[in-house]
Amino acid sequence: MTETLSTQLLIVGGGPGGYVAAIRAGQLGLDVTLVEADRLGGTCLIRGCIPSKALIHAADHFTAISRSSRHSYMGVSVHAAPEIDLAETVRWKDGVVDTLNNGVAGLLKRAKVRVLAGWARFINAKTCMVQTPSGPVSVTAEQVILATGSVPTELSSLPFGGPVISSTEALSLDHVPERLVIVGAGYIGLELGTAFRKLGAEVTIVEATGRMLPQYDRDLVRPIERWLKGAGVSVHLTAKARDLKTTPEGGATLTVESDSGAFRLHPDRVLVTVGRRPNTEGWGLEQIGLARQGPFVKVDDRCATSVEGVWAIGDLVGEPMLEHKAAAQGEMVAEIIAGKRRRFDPVSIAAVCFTQPEIVTAGLSPEEAQSQGLDFITAQFPYAANGRALSTGASEDGGFVRIVALKSDHRVLGLQAVGGHVAELAGEFALALEMGAVLEDIAGTIHVHPTLGEATHEVALRALGHAIHI
């Protein structure tokens, strides 16, 4: 028998968009039902941001020990090469994921959110059926938030299965592949490729366009290219992975076509990271009658869809497909439904690429400021002139912090950096832009010594023409 349930707010998808919306709505006193088919935390927590950063951290730990086993580094040496038991690493990573997953469940409980485990399928805009372990439940709601996220894009020539894997499987392998081919040089492919190279895999990157990490300008990407070259990663640009043939013995031959002709690779795994697409299938989007914008669900600056009382957030509604955008939209929509006046109008959405070294960007690059016809000033401060970066090895792969500001009133338009651990600068970059800081605000803020943040201080001073440490 079908159980029926009426709720003020129904949220479909328990990723960072959906669960944050649910917690905020619960805090604001709404009666909330959250439906999640898999595990609370969504892509980010279960098979994305957190597991990938855990793997990257383990790979860095392995690299540091390997280095000291080859020669004394900082006076530290070890007398045997380290070994990696990837199955054990994955168990450790799963422990981190479990802790966070339990944490999300606890927070939802505290906010009095009703959680239904199961796949939701809409019958009309305000009613869906959920197949829960204890039977079907029909949920009718006054308001609906769609937060169904995204899924990896498959290549028709290389469908997932066998040796062809997506980032999800790459984060749960039981051993390090000997020869790993990565198809697609976006941030997910490069982050994972870098980690597997550090763990000992022979890594080859095949990218159809003429450059990797196309969302970042060349100056930011150069240190990553240098590291990949030094680490022996083969990168084939303007090359297309065409066809994979496997043998019964488990061997594989991948044919790649490039400008200079076709060639073959013999990977034991092919990781396809050619992008992600919004999850718009299998849950009755058509029954709701939502307008689309390309592959995404169309929303306005309040995340309202074309159907009254139906909202959509996160990866489902467009780029950038990032955790912090999904969470910010979730919080905002919960507040709008509870009666607050809000709009999604961030000055910037900062982004980090956790490669070796890392990249962080917020706001406009010089190229973007130029293309908008703005009259701007820009400056760079080398990471190697920062005491903290030097004393922790963070500047070993080079790097810099860069600022872009309007010439007229010095309002900061953009901040970017490349270098070890620059991800930690993201908060200050985003805050400066959101608060409408001018160069003098950053220059006039006393930054703690010795920290990487001092490079942000120095770059503002440099743009004003009086850096101290360069």
Ligand X SMILES: Cc1cc2nc3c(=O)[nH]c(=O)nc-3n(C[C@H](O)[C@H](O)[C@H](O)COP(=O)(O)OP(=O)(O)OC[C@H]3O[C@@H](n4cnc5c(N)ncnc54)[C@H](O)[C@@H]3O)c2cc1C
CB of 260 to ligand X, least distance (A): 31
User: Among residues 409, 401, 421, which one has the least CA distance to residue 461?
Assistant: 401
User: Alpha-carbon distance 254 to 252, whole Å?
Assistant: 7
15 vs 193 by CB, closer to ligand X: 15
Give the Å distances, CA to CA, from 426 to 116, 319, 431.
35, 18, 8
CB of 238 to ligand X, least distance (A): 25
Note whether 314 binds ligand X by CB under 6 A.
Answer: yes
User: Among residues 170, 215, 221, which one has the least CA distance to residue 197?
Assistant: 170
User: In sequence order, what are the beta bridge partners of 173?
Assistant: none
Over the window 114 to 153, marking each residue x when it contacts ligand X by CB under 6 A and - when it does not, the resulting string is -----xx--------------------------xxxx---
User: Alpha-carbon distance 305 to 317, whole Å?
Assistant: 10
Using CB under 6 A, pick the residue from 35, 233, 272, 379 that binds ligand X.
35
User: Alpha-carbon distance 465 to 462, whole Å?
Assistant: 5
CB of 20 to ligand X, least distance (A): 8
CB of 137 to ligand X, least distance (A): 12
Tell me the window of 29-37, 89-97, 393-401, 456-464 that interacts with ligand X (CB under 6 A).
29-37
Tell me the window of 253-261, 301-309, 319-327, 440-448 that interacts with ligand X (CB under 6 A).
319-327
User: Alpha-carbon distance 136 to 31, whole Å?
Assistant: 20
132 vs 157 by CB, closer to ligand X: 132
What is the torsion angle, in degrees rounded to the nearest 10, for the CA atoms of residue 133, residue 139, residue 144 and residue 149?
Answer: 20
Going by their DSSP bridges, the two strands 412-419 and 400-406 should be labelled as antiparallel
138 vs 238 by CB, closer to ligand X: 138
Dihedral of CA 190/191/192/194: which sign? positive
Using CB under 6 A, pick the residue from 104, 181, 280, 315 that binds ligand X.
315
Number of residues near ligand X (by CB under 6 A): 35
Please list every residue from 101 through 120 that binds ligand X, using CB under 6 A: 119-120
Please list every residue from 190 through 249 that binds ligand X, using CB under 6 A: none
Note whether 414 binds ligand X by CB under 6 A.
Answer: no
63 vs 166 by CB, closer to ligand X: 166
> Are 425 and 411 within 8 A, CB to CB?
no
Strand spans (E) along 85-238: 114-117, 119-124, 127-132, 135-146, 150-152, 164-165, 179-183, 202-206, 234-236
b/e map of 318-330 (b: 16 or more CB within 10 Å)? beebbbbbbbbbb
Using CB under 6 A, pick the residue from 32, 36, 126, 400 that binds ligand X.
36
Going by their DSSP bridges, the two strands 179-183 and 269-272 should be labelled as parallel
48 vs 382 by CB, closer to ligand X: 48
Tell me the window of 249-257, 316-324, 366-374, 381-389 that interacts with ligand X (CB under 6 A).
316-324
272 vs 443 by CB, closer to ligand X: 272
Note whether 358 binds ligand X by CB under 6 A.
Answer: no
- The residues carrying an active-site annotation are 449
CB of 297 to ligand X, least distance (A): 11
User: Among residues 433, 458, 418, which one has the least CA distance to residue 350?
Assistant: 433
Question: Which residues, 6 or more positions from 425, have their beta carbon under 8 angstroms from its beta carbon?
Answer: 360, 401, 415, 417, 452, 453, 455, 456
Note whether 13 binds ligand X by CB under 6 A.
Answer: yes
98 vs 440 by CB, closer to ligand X: 98
Q: What is the CA radius of gyration of the chain?
A: 24
Note whether 280 binds ligand X by CB under 6 A.
Answer: no
CB of 241 to ligand X, least distance (A): 19
Residues that bind ligand X (CB under 6 A): 12-18, 35-38, 42-44, 48-49, 52, 119-120, 147-150, 167, 188, 279, 283, 314-316, 321-324, 326
